[in-house]
Structure 1
Amino acid sequence: MHVVWDLSVILQTYIICTSSAQPITSKLDESWWAYKDVVQGSFVPVPSFWGLVNSAWNLCAIGKRQSPIDIETSHMIFDPYLTPLRLNTGGRKMGGTMYNTGKHVSLRPDKAHLVNISGGPLGYSYRLEEVRLHFGSEDSQGSEHLLNGQGFPGEVQLIHYNQDLYANYSEAVRNPHGIAVVSIFIKLSENSNAFLNRMLNRDTITRINYKHDAFLLMGLNIADLYPDTIRYITYEGSITIPPCYETSTWILINKPVYVTQMQMHSLRLLSQNEPYKIFMSMSDNTRPTQPLLQRCIRTNINFSKQGRDCPNNRALRPQYRGNTKDGHQ
């Protein structure tokens, strides 16, 4: 305990000293963090230090509604008022640019082709800002969220901002009801999801081998990414990168999407560095799960016992019963 405290003081002193000598740069504010220790070079904070090294990121350490979480199905509450999520593409396919950001595979849609979601737990309309991939170095890990303590090989996160209240993502992410994230677990199969196949086929994924690489994709149908189910799990949480703002409504779809073993292997071959630096796989780009505390996990997956409240008494919470059609395996 004392060692951790002493180290945090040293880190905070380091930030104070460097920031007093020169203005805090955008590099420090936005990208001066990592998921895992760097092989060589200067110190870059891993998740356990995100909330200690920059006062603007203190929610990462002291927040009460942080993400991701371990979804314990015994804690879920059936909410009969949770309607199906609505996806609106205007009947058009979209284009987007796929990036290697050094931390994620990121697909950012062309602003000319708007994709919106509404309904479900959302009281507003949210516009798609980014599709982000998290994945592991092994098949047993890679998703940010866990299901009853179990990880999945990966997780797709469709990140949206509230277009009814805010002008853009940067404004929305700092404010209440600002962000909605649709999350879908990735599993392995002999066949790939049609949308992910466009991103992960060999001709495409090899275009973004290194940090800052980018590649334009056209004719994408975002509806292809959504599994065939109206069932989901939802809770109030945060974005999972610094500054960890607690402005996100999470919607976890109750069916996975699939990629092939070869496509997962291709993801693990992506470097989080530029080509002239040492190779370091982008895999395991996940934040550890955070405490649920007093939050509710609601779902429209029907239980044998139906409840409309959100009791803190765990004994009153209905037990989850997965079914063969919509339940996780």
Structure 2
Amino acid sequence: MINSDTSSSEIRASWEEWWTYDGISGPEYWGRINPEWSLCNKGRRQSPINVDPQLLLFDPYLEHINIDKCKVNGILLNTGQSLVFRVDKDLKHHVNISGGPLAYRYQFEELYIHYGTVDQVGSEHKIGGQSFPAEIQLYGFNAELYHNMTEAQHKSQGIVGISLMVQIGEKPNREFQIITSTFRKVQWKGEQIPIKHLSLTSILPDTSHYMTYEGSTTHPGCWETTVWIILNKPIYMTKQELYYLRTLQQGSQEIPKAPLGNNARPPQPLYHRTVRTNIDFQVSEDYSLSKNNCPITMHKEMYYKANKWRQSNELFQV
């Protein structure tokens, strides 16, 4: 007779192995693979989304985001679905994230890299329908209310997700090179390598301006407990770094499969959610027109428009 507890744990482990980003185990079927992931198919506050610049709501009360400057150690792992950095559990000093739209203090736990096999696609979130070559996502859990990520992902206000869009550039992010320099050592599923003394604040671009909304994790089980913060400035990776990233594989060396890239969940319907921003677009556009550039937007030739949030809570188009 099979022990029920053993059977349950084996099934749960199998589910973690089964899901992919394409085919009959892809995003369209996540909610059917595992009943506990039903939100992937039925949820109405799902992520990622396409951020429509014309629907952004300007909120002048959104403050700066605070991120601790201490460095962390962890493991970089090829899971077969994504490349993931996970911090060591026994860290003495954790990286805390607070401020901005967050009402609580969150503790950084994981970093995911989503990317495409070509430059035109790769990011999960899109801006005005525009995709980026890659997207780096930082996940943290609400350390004031919950004990860990496993508990927090099921609870209200449990998780924060910080989205960094990646552009191709000649000057790479020096701190992120601590990770990119190890890509060739995690080429196959299950391979991992220690990462030491990583500074998140040195990886992040300017965190003064961002967009934010209420959503979900972008991987199973798509828990609708995530406050998303999409930074308005990208970070840069070189073509060579992207080349090595695209050599990573979904399978093991013994059982090869397809490349690891194209690991992005498609954008989900926004429904009636609001996407807020602390960027005063009227000032930005006036500056851009006078200086013939757009210093705080992701695309030099893209000018955003936004709704303003007045003190009376009335909305009007600028």
Name the TM tier (shorter chain). Answer: 0.7 to 0.9
Matched, 1:220 2:198: yes
Provide the secondary structure at the position in 2 that maps to 1:239: coil
Structure 1 residues 238 and 152, CA gap change in structure 2 (3 angstroms) = same
Question: In the alignment, which residue of structure 2 is the partner of 1:7?
Answer: none
Asked whether the 8 Å contact 2:106–2:159 carries over to 1, the reply is yes
1:32 pairs with one of 18, 28, 36: 18
Q: Runs of 5+ in structure 1 lacking a partner?
A: 1-18, 38-43, 306-320
- CA-to-partner distance for each residue in 1:73-116, whole Å, 9 max, x for gaps? 00100001100000113xx3222211111111111122314101
Q: Runs of 5+ in structure 2 lacking a partner?
A: 300-318
Matched, 1:64 2:34: no
CA distance in 2, matches of 1:93, 1:120: 22
Asked whether the 8 Å contact 1:229–1:326 carries over to 2, the reply is no
CA distance in 1, matches of 2:109, 2:198: 15
Structure 1 residues 87 and 178, CA gap change in structure 2 (3 angstroms) = same
Asked whether the 8 Å contact 2:15–2:33 carries over to 1, the reply is no
Provide the secondary structure at the position in 2 that maps to 1:219: strand
CA distance in 2, matches of 1:174, 1:276: 36
CA distance in 1, matches of 2:266, 2:14: 22
TM-score scaled by length of structure 1: 0.83
Deviates more, 1:26-35 or 1:236-245: 26-35
CA distance in 1, matches of 2:14, 2:270: 29
CA distance in 2, matches of 1:245, 1:229: 25
Provide the secondary structure at the position in 2 that maps to 1:264: helix
User: What code does the residue aligned with 2:127 have?
Assistant: L
Question: In the alignment, which residue of structure 2 is the partner of 1:79?
Answer: 59
TM-score scaled by length of structure 2: 0.85
- CA-to-partner distance for each residue in 1:175-202, whole Å, 9 max, x for gaps? 100000010000101111122211112x
Query: How far off is 1:54 after superposition?
Result: 2.5
CA distance in 2, matches of 1:227, 1:157: 13
Question: In the alignment, which residue of structure 1 is the partner of 2:81?
Answer: 103
Asked whether the 8 Å contact 2:163–2:230 carries over to 1, the reply is yes
Matches within 5 A, 1:91-240: 92-111=70-89, 112=91, 113-201=93-181, 204-240=182-218
CA distance in 1, matches of 2:33, 2:205: 39
Query: How far off is 1:27 after superposition?
Result: 2.1
Provide the secondary structure at the position in 1 that maps to 2:214: strand
Query: How far off is 1:151 after superposition?
Result: 0.5
CA distance in 2, matches of 1:207, 1:229: 31
- CA-to-partner distance for each residue in 1:272-312, whole Å, 9 max, x for gaps? 1111112410000010000000000000011339xxxxxxx
Provide the secondary structure at the position in 2 that maps to 1:195: coil
Question: In the alignment, which residue of structure 2 is the partner of 1:262?
Answer: 240
Question: In the alignment, which residue of structure 2 is the partner of 1:249?
Answer: 227
Query: How far off is 1:68 after superposition?
Result: 0.3
CA distance in 1, matches of 2:16, 2:190: 15
User: What code does the residue aligned with 1:109 have?
Assistant: V
Query: How far off is 1:53 after superposition?
Result: 3.0
User: What code does the residue aligned with 2:78 have?
Assistant: N
Provide the secondary structure at the position in 2 that maps to 1:150: coil
Deviates more, 1:211-220 or 1:175-184: 211-220
Question: In the alignment, which residue of structure 2 is the partner of 1:46?
Answer: 26
Asked whether the 8 Å contact 1:270–1:281 carries over to 2, the reply is yes
RMSD: 1.8
Provide the secondary structure at the position in 2 that maps to 1:132: strand
Asked whether the 8 Å contact 1:94–1:219 carries over to 2, the reply is yes
Matched, 1:327 2:297: yes
Aligned residues with identical type, % of pairs: 39
Matched, 1:285 2:296: no
Structure 1 residues 136 and 176, CA gap change in structure 2 (3 angstroms) = same
User: What code does the residue aligned with 1:285 have?
Assistant: N
1:271 pairs with one of 235, 239, 249: 249
Query: How far off is 1:29 after superposition?
Result: 4.0
Query: How far off is 1:219 after superposition?
Result: 2.0
CA distance in 2, matches of 1:171, 1:229: 28
Query: How far off is 1:31 after superposition?
Result: 3.4
Runs of 4+ in 1 over 4 A off after TM superposition: none
Asked whether the 8 Å contact 2:250–2:256 carries over to 1, the reply is no
CA distance in 2, matches of 1:93, 1:128: 11
